[in-house]
Structure 1
Amino acid sequence: MDNIFLYVVIALVALILLSSFVTVQQGTIGVTTIFGKYNRILFPGLNFKIPLIEKVFKRISIQNRSVELEFQAITVDQANVYFKAMLLYSVLNQEEETLKNVAFKFMDERSFMQALIRTIEGSIRGFVATKRQSEVLGLRKDITEHVKEQIDNGLEQWGFHLQDLQMNDITFDDAIMRSMAQVVASNNLKAAAENEGQALLITKTKAAEADGNAIKIAAEAERQAAQLRGQGVALFREEVAKGMTMAAKEMQQANLDTSVILFSMWVEGIKHFSENSKGNVIFLDGSSEGMEKSMKQLMSLNQLMEVKQQQPAK
């Protein structure tokens, strides 16, 4: 009998000793109570606690936690907007007061999650209710910043911190989605038509500029050619005049009539016409009166040239 009692005592002592130690996993922090009242926090590792009196009330995870949200909101113009979001949050810090808030503010984890989700949904719905359907898609970043601004203070009082909120998907009713697609398609067609018109205008403008430049170049070339032709004719006449002047001087020195030169040029001209003619008919007066008339005209031209040569150069 004594041995049995001894064994029982030893077993009770061993049970008490074993219950005096508790292990807290890495990434979590234990919160203990004595007779239902907060006592202290236990950090990761092996911890000693008062046996039979001190109890581990809750193990709090200090790791990042995420949750996916799906909810609906209504814009100011009565359009339904459907959101899919991902929420990332964690315990604010490892201070004792913060951990007490996390452990005792809510009855359980489910109550906390319900309050957190409803708070975020309410914040987003309030924001979307002031915007039009056409504005919502472009306000993804503004919605996220608005939510953080609205609930950060409340979460800190609960001992948590909102690290990130991502709007993964924002959709509307099928009818609205189809109308938005039609608007985008029509805007794309309009932009394409405007671009095509601009390209055609540029092409036409460049072509007109090229034609204008070609006309300018051709006109300049024609002007230069005409100028060169005029200079050539002037040089030709100058050389002819010089040759006739020299010939006249030589004939005067030989006491010959200079009108013979004009007559000779006239005959050469008629010869040139006949040799290089391409079907044209030239009528010449071959009578003695006509010959006499032509000779008088040539002699008058010869005298006029002599008078010009005798005039002093200006």
Structure 2
Amino acid sequence: MEILTGGVIAVVIIVLILAVLLFGKLRTSMFFTVKTQENVVVERFGKFKKVAKPGLNFKMPLVETTSKPVSLRVQQLEVNIESKTSDNVFVTVPVAVQYVVEEDNVTDAYYKLANSEEQIRSYVFDTVRSALSGLTLDTAFESKDDIAENVERRLSESMRRYGFKIVSTLVTDITPDSKVRDSMNSINAAQRDKVAAQSLAEADKIKRVTQAQAESEAMRLHGEGVAAQRKAIAEGIAEQYSKLQEVGIDRTAEQLLMMTQYFDTMQNVAQEGRSNVLFMPSNPGGLGEMTQEIRNTLFAANASEDAAKTEGLHGANGPQSQKQAVSKAAQSAPTDAQSAVSRARDAFGPSTDNSGSMTDDS
């Protein structure tokens, strides 16, 4: 009896263990959970039954099965494409494609494509290579956004029927071959050097033009000053010449102008000249001619001054007094001129040669 009781207890324990194990297995096969931003496809005997949404879900044990979770998050696929441009330059174009499974089309995304990434990669390769074949390297750099838009548009049209939505497509860079990059850098450096040289040349041109304009303005102002000075001298000589004619002394304006300029030149040489040599007439009679010119000029100057004085006495003494004053000036002019010549000879001093010298015999 005791043996029978012990056997019954053992059987009960085994049954309980089997029941627990069976219930646990049934429980796990009947209930399952789905995470947020995921869907699960439920099949009954291999045939699509439903799409399980996030949360606690029920399925019939031993009859229905669940698939691997389908993510509804945005996914990114990196694709590096090697292609050739229209000017035969090989480039590498990295393309980033962001896509997502549409929640309403989980069934299409799960059943219609065996490998969605490979399908997207194929479309990207075909689109980018087709676009680059009609572009030069420089144009390709400028058309990165256009290439990305073309890829995105074609992918969107193609992948929509498979339950995928293309969020965005980015062409991050276009990288040519290393030798081509070095050549491009050299070209860019040469262009920058050219621009810098042009800028420096333009600046130097502006500087030179400004300097030339300043010099031209200075010369113009200097010329105006010289012209005004000569005008004043000419007016003085004309006044002197008219006074000489009034008193009856014949002296041409040309001779007066020549002697005046000669004296001005000698004065400038003495004041501003750096030379220690004073050039005189080289012929033997030249100094005598110069002395005679000095004598005549001094005589004319004295006569002009005396004539001016007689004008002031004209009202008080009458014509007779004016004639007497002119006669007196004419008598004293040779003596004054001779004194001026003697002073000039003493100032120049005697010389020992004939070329450019002044002798005591002149």
- TM-score, length basis structure 1: 0.69
* Corresponding residue of 1:251: 317
* Corresponding residue of 2:265: none
Identify which of 35, 55, 62 aligns with 2:45: 35
**1:106 Cα offset (Å):** 1.8
> What SS does structure 1 have at the residue aligned with 2:168?
strand
Tell me, yes or no, if the aligned pair for 2:89 and 2:137 is still in contact at 8 Å: yes
Tell me, yes or no, if the aligned pair for 2:96 and 2:171 is still in contact at 8 Å: no
Counterparts of 1:216 and 1:243, CA distance in 2: 40
**1:215 Cα offset (Å):** 2.1
> What SS does structure 2 have at the residue aligned with 1:258?
helix
Counterparts of 2:73 and 2:334, CA distance in 1: 118
Q: How does 1:1-314 map to 2 (within 5 A)?
A: 1-44=11-54, 46-52=55-61, 53-83=63-93, 85-91=94-100, 93-94=102-103, 96=104, 98-107=105-114, 111-226=115-230, 244-252=310-318, 257-263=321-327, 267=332, 271=336, 274=339, 279=344
Structure 1: gaps spanning 5 or more residues? 282-314
Q: How many residues align?
A: 271
Which residue identity lines up with residue 58 of structure 2 in the other structure? K
Structure 2: gaps spanning 5 or more residues? 1-10, 244-304, 347-362
Which residue identity lines up with residue 214 of structure 1 in the other structure? A
- Compare relative contact order (CA 8 Å, sep 6+) and give the higher one, 1 or 2: 1
Counterparts of 1:197 and 1:62, CA distance in 2: 64
**1:3 Cα offset (Å):** 5.0
1:22-70 CA-to-partner distances (Å, cap 9, x unmatched) read 23233323333333333333343x3222231443323122222223222
When residues 187 and 261 of structure 1 are mapped into structure 2, their CA distance, relative to the original with a 3 A threshold, is same
Counterparts of 2:15 and 2:129, CA distance in 1: 69
**1:78 Cα offset (Å):** 3.5
When residues 243 and 113 of structure 1 are mapped into structure 2, their CA distance, relative to the original with a 3 A threshold, is same
Which residue identity lines up with residue 104 of structure 1 in the other structure? Y
**1:182 Cα offset (Å):** 4.1
- TM-score, length basis structure 2: 0.61
CA-atom RMSD in angstroms: 3.7
| More strand as a share of residues | 1
Counterparts of 1:183 and 1:190, CA distance in 2: 10
Indicate the percent of aligned positions where both proteins have the same amino acid. 18
When residues 8 and 270 of structure 1 are mapped into structure 2, their CA distance, relative to the original with a 3 A threshold, is farther
1:235-274 CA-to-partner distances (Å, cap 9, x unmatched) read 9999x8886434111123xx96222333455548975994
When residues 269 and 91 of structure 1 are mapped into structure 2, their CA distance, relative to the original with a 3 A threshold, is farther
Tell me, yes or no, if the aligned pair for 2:311 and 2:322 is still in contact at 8 Å: no
